[in-house]
Amino acid sequence: MDYHAPESIHAAISLLVNAEGDARVLAGGTDVLVQLREEMIEPNHLIDIKNIAETRNISICAKEVRVGAAVTGAELGEHPKVKALWPGVVEAVGLIGSHQIQSRATMGGNLCNASPAADSVPALIAADGKVVIAGPNGERKISIEDFLIAPGKTALAIGEFVVALALPIPPTRTADAYLRFIPRTEMDIAVVSAGSAITLDEDGKCTHARLAVGAVAPTARLVKSASGILVDGLLDDDRLEQLAQATSAVCEPIDDKRGTVAFRTQVAGVLACRAVKLAWQRAMERDI
């Protein structure tokens, strides 16, 4: 195996395109190094993207927040502006692993590892995040939902890698939240998770809603019907009941040591309601 540390997007693409044998992209390494050690992957080339400036920056413009693919969880958590704009996304990333893992792990890596239980993913989908991909044919940007194909499988083509994740600048009175169920208090893998982003108007009525659930299907899922249930309304028990049912309906979980199909399906509905309530409450607290 050869380790490479290109210093430009162009150089990284060139390495990926011309690599003989299998090439893997390395960011924080908290998944890749474990997979290497356990011989789940045996790449011929390891392409470290941390020396590329575009992967290390957090930039905020009028339209979007761009978080470089090699920005660590700790660095994201210390960024007050991103936290203020998308608290749910930052909290979701902050739940990944220990302090030590946070010093290295990245949101881009969490996405590319494509675990059905990845903490950042439901929050990113709820926030309508996009993946910024660089490749031999230039840059392209796709939604998180389209990026994730199956466990461990993404829409990246040969020669491509994720440069950054882009989150929209949220409209006025928008907030998000992410919650997960784990049997411990910390350092565990989500049994079920839910992320939600809510926009309210001046009267506290919902104008835009997105909800996504994790660990209940091969990839995190957007609950498409959530928008129809919540938009144009206030938060009442009837709507929450509908939301819980709609959420459970999109679940196709597996039985494993962490939870049963029945448990995951039911808890997804419960967590979805709680995530919506929390995002709603945060949106209410925003200045109009």
Partner 1 sequence: MSKHFVSAIVNGDEVEFRCDSGETLLDVLRTKLYLTGTKNGCGTGDCGACTVLMNGRAINSCLVLGAECSDMSIETIEGMAVGGELHPLQQKFLDHAALQCGVCTPGILNMAKALLKENSNPSETEVRFGLAGNLCRCTGYDKIVRAVMDAAAEMRARRT
> 185 or 287: whose CB is closer to partner 1?
185
| Alpha-carbon span 93 to 111, nearest angstrom | 10
> 5 or 60: whose CB is closer to partner 1?
5
Q: Given candidates 11, 14, 36, 277, which one binds partner 1 under the rule CB under 8 A?
A: 36
Sign of CA pseudo-dihedral 221, 224, 225, 226: positive
What angle do the packed helices 237-250 and 261-285 form, to 10 degrees? Answer: 130
Instruction: State the nearest-atom distance from the C-beta of 132 to partner 1, in Å.
Output: 23
> 118 or 223: whose CB is closer to partner 1?
118
> 50 or 180: whose CB is closer to partner 1?
50
What angle do the packed helices 261-285 and 87-94 form, to 10 degrees? Answer: 140
With contacts defined by CB under 8 A, name the span among 28-36, 85-93, 119-127, 159-167 that binds partner 1.
28-36
Q: What string of H, E and C letters represents the secondary structure of 235-275?
A: CCHHHHHHHHHHHHHHCCCCCECCECHHHHHHHHHHHHHHH
Residues 54-93 that bind partner 1 (CB under 8 A): 74
For β-strands 2-4 and 45-48, DSSP reports them as parallel
Find, among 124, 69, 64, the residue nearest to 91 by Cα. 124
With contacts defined by CB under 8 A, name the span among 35-43, 141-149, 222-230, 259-267 that binds partner 1.
35-43
Q: Given candidates 41, 58, 60, 101, which one binds partner 1 under the rule CB under 8 A?
A: 101
Find, among 254, 273, 276, the residue nearest to 264 by Cα. 254
37 binds partner 1 (CB under 8 A): yes
> 155 or 189: whose CB is closer to partner 1?
189
Counting residues that bind partner 1 (by CB under 8 A) gives: 26
Token duo for residue 153: 């499988």
Find, among 172, 177, 178, 175, the residue nearest to 202 by Cα. 172
| Alpha-carbon span 228 to 69, nearest angstrom | 33
Instruction: Tell me which H or E stretch contains 156.
Output: none
Instruction: State the nearest-atom distance from the C-beta of 152 to partner 1, in Å.
Output: 17
- Say if CB 226 and CB 209 are below 8 A apart: yes
- Say if CB 174 and CB 199 are below 8 A apart: yes
> 98 or 245: whose CB is closer to partner 1?
98
Q: How many residues in the chain?
A: 288
Residues 119-178 that bind partner 1 (CB under 8 A): none
Q: Given candidates 1, 17, 53, 262, which one binds partner 1 under the rule CB under 8 A?
A: 1
257 binds partner 1 (CB under 8 A): no
Binding mask 180-199 for partner 1 (x = CB under 8 A): -----xxx------------
With contacts defined by CB under 8 A, name the span among 23-31, 116-124, 153-161, 229-237 that binds partner 1.
23-31
97 binds partner 1 (CB under 8 A): yes
| Alpha-carbon span 33 to 26, nearest angstrom | 9
- Site residues (CB under 8 A) for partner 1? 1-3, 5, 26, 29-30, 33-34, 36-38, 46, 48, 50, 74, 97-101, 103-104, 185-187
